[in-house]
Amino acid sequence: MNEVSCEFGETEPLLERVRAGDRQAAAELLPRYRQRLKRMIELRLDSRLHRRLDASDVVQDALLDAAARLDDYVKDPKLPFFLWMRMIAGDRLIRLHRQHLGARMRDLGREVSLYRSALPAASSFALASMLLGRLSSPTQAAVRAERLVRIQDALNALDPVDREVLALRHFEQLTPAETAAALELRPDAASKRYIRALKRLKQALAEMPGGLEAL
3-class secondary structure per residue, the chain: CCHHHHHHHHHHHHHHHHHCCCHHHHHHHHHHHHHHHHHHHHHHCCHHHCCCCCHHHHHHHHHHHHHHHHHHHHHCCCCCHHHHHHHHHHHHHHHHHHHHHHHHCCCCCCCECCCCCCCCCECHHHHHHHHHCCCCCHHHHHHHHHHHHHHHHHHHCCCHHHHHHHHHHHHCCCCHHHHHHHHCCCHHHHHHHHHHHHHHHHHHHHCCCCHHHHC
Q: Parse the chain into domains and list their residue ranges.
A: 3-104, 124-214
Pick the CATH number of 3-104 from 1.10.1740.10, 3.90.1150.10, 3.40.50.300, 1.10.10.60: 1.10.1740.10
- CB neighbourhood size of 40 (10 A): 28
Q: What is the pLDDT of residue 138?
A: 55
CATH topology of domain 124-214: Arc Repressor Mutant, subunit A (1.10.10)
Identical fold for domains 3-104 and 124-214, yes or no, is no
Average pLDDT, the chain: 81
Q: What is the pLDDT of residues 95-123, one digit of tens each?
A: 998 888 875 655 443 444 333 444 666 67
Question: What's residue 113's pLDDT?
Answer: 38
Residue 169 has pLDDT above 60, yes or no: yes
pTM for this prediction: 0.76
State the pLDDT confidence band at 5, using cuts at 50, 70 and 90.
Answer: very low
With 50 as the cut, is the pLDDT of residue 21 above it?
Answer: yes
